[in-house]
């Protein structure tokens, strides 16, 4: 079998005729990132991550995909040149644009020291959640915080009352609320804003509001004239009973 001489990153290696540059590199412990490549399939270079720098006939450097590029006698390849890294970074960012939440792409990029910027979290920094929590609800459970030069919406521990106003107002759905087994969890990204026990409606038995929110409302309305008997009704039942009371009052008249 005919052997060829190929140079990768300044080191000389032998390669069998018909081998791709990617195969030669990997067989000699030189790592080149790929996502679309599989040994059982014909390479198509879809992900563009395996680009390497070679010299054209004019001597000008250019990028070719190592999964497709065949080894040939005297071929000189650079996997870590400035041009190769620039092209690889662009390929990673293109892939991330199609799959912004992919941890696999980010982890692979990190292995090759490619900076892809902050992880996409769905938050557009409109600050609606921060403002409504502070100015309307009065809890002040969310704030803007700078981390590694990037501003994020972050929770202030212990201040969330579980009302869910921030969730309902968020235009992109970046803030999540889950009610399960009598508890409400509000979170943004992988950070928990608040965990709250829920109260049941006295009429229908459905969980409807956090205990902390109910107490918050009671404090805010404590100075109001209070002549009514208190009940824990969900909005649906409160409306239903209110309608019945009004109808009953009309009949009595």
Q: How confident is the model at residue 253 (pLDDT cuts 50, 70, 90)?
A: very low
The pLDDT tens digits of the residues spanning 117-142 come to 877 788 999 999 999 999 999 999 99
Residues 105 and 110: their CA atoms lie apart, in Å, by: 9
Task: Please report which helix (H) or strand (E) contains residue 188, including its range.
Answer: strand 183-188
Query: What are the tokens at 110?
Result: 């990190």
Q: Which among 98, 115, 101 is positioned nearest to 47, based on CA atoms?
A: 98
Phi, psi angle pair for 154, to nearest 5°: -130, 155
How far are the Cα atoms of 50, 69, 87 from residue 92, in angstroms, in the given order? 11, 20, 9
Distances (CA, A) of 14 to 1, 17, 19, 66, 172: 12, 10, 10, 16, 54
**DSSP, res 18:** T
Phi, psi angle pair for 71, to nearest 5°: -70, 140
Share of the chain above pLDDT 90, in %: 68
Q: What's the pLDDT tens digit per position in 62-95?
A: 999 999 999 999 999 999 999 999 999 999 999 9
Tokens 């293109």 -> residue:
94
Selection from 101, 149, 151, 99 nearest residue 126 by Cα: 151
Place of tokens 């009940």: 231
User: What pLDDT is attached to residue 244?
Assistant: 54
Q: Residues for the chain: how many in total?
A: 253
CATH class name, domain 3-111: alpha beta
Tokens encoding 201: 């409606």
Task: For residue range 11-41, list pLDDT tens digits in order.
Answer: 999 999 999 999 999 999 999 999 999 999 9
Asked which of 39-48, 189-198, 225-234 is least confident by mean pLDDT, the reply is 225-234
* Segments making up each domain of the chain, as ranges: 3-111, 128-245
Contacts of 229 (CB under 8 A, 6+ apart): none
């Amino acid at each position: 079998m005919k052997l060829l001489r190929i140079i990768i990153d300044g080191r000389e290696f032998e390669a069998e005729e018909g081998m791709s540059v990617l195969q030669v590199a990997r067989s000699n412990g030189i790592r080149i990132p790929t996502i679309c490549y599989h040994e059982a399939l014909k390479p198509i270079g879809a992900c563009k991550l395996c680009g390497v720098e070679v010299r054209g006939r004019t001597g000008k450097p250019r990028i070719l995909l190592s999964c497709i590029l065949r080894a040939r006698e005297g071929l000189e390849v650079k996997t870590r040149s400035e041009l190769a890294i620039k092209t690889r970074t662009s390929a990673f960012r293109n892939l991330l644009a199609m799959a912004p939440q992919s941890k696999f792409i980010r982890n692979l990029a990190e292995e090759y020291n490619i900076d892809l910027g902050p992880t996409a979290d769905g938050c557009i920094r409109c600050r609606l959640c921060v403002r409504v929590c502070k100015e309307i609800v009065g809890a002040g459970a969310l704030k803007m915080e700078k981390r590694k030069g990037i501003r994020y919406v972050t929770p202030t521990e212990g201040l969330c009352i579980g009302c869910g106003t921030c969730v309902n107002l968020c235009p992109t759905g970046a803030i999540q609320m889950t009610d399960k087994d009598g508890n409400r969890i509000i979170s943004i990204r992988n950070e928990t804003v608040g965990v709250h026990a829920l109260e049941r409606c006295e009429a229908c038995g459905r969980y409807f509001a956090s205990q902390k929110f109910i107490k918050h409302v009671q404090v805010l309305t404590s100075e109001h004239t209070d002549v009514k008997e208190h009940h824990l009704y969900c909005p649906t039942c409160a409306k239903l009973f209110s309608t019945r009371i009004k109808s009953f009052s009309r009949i009595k008249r």
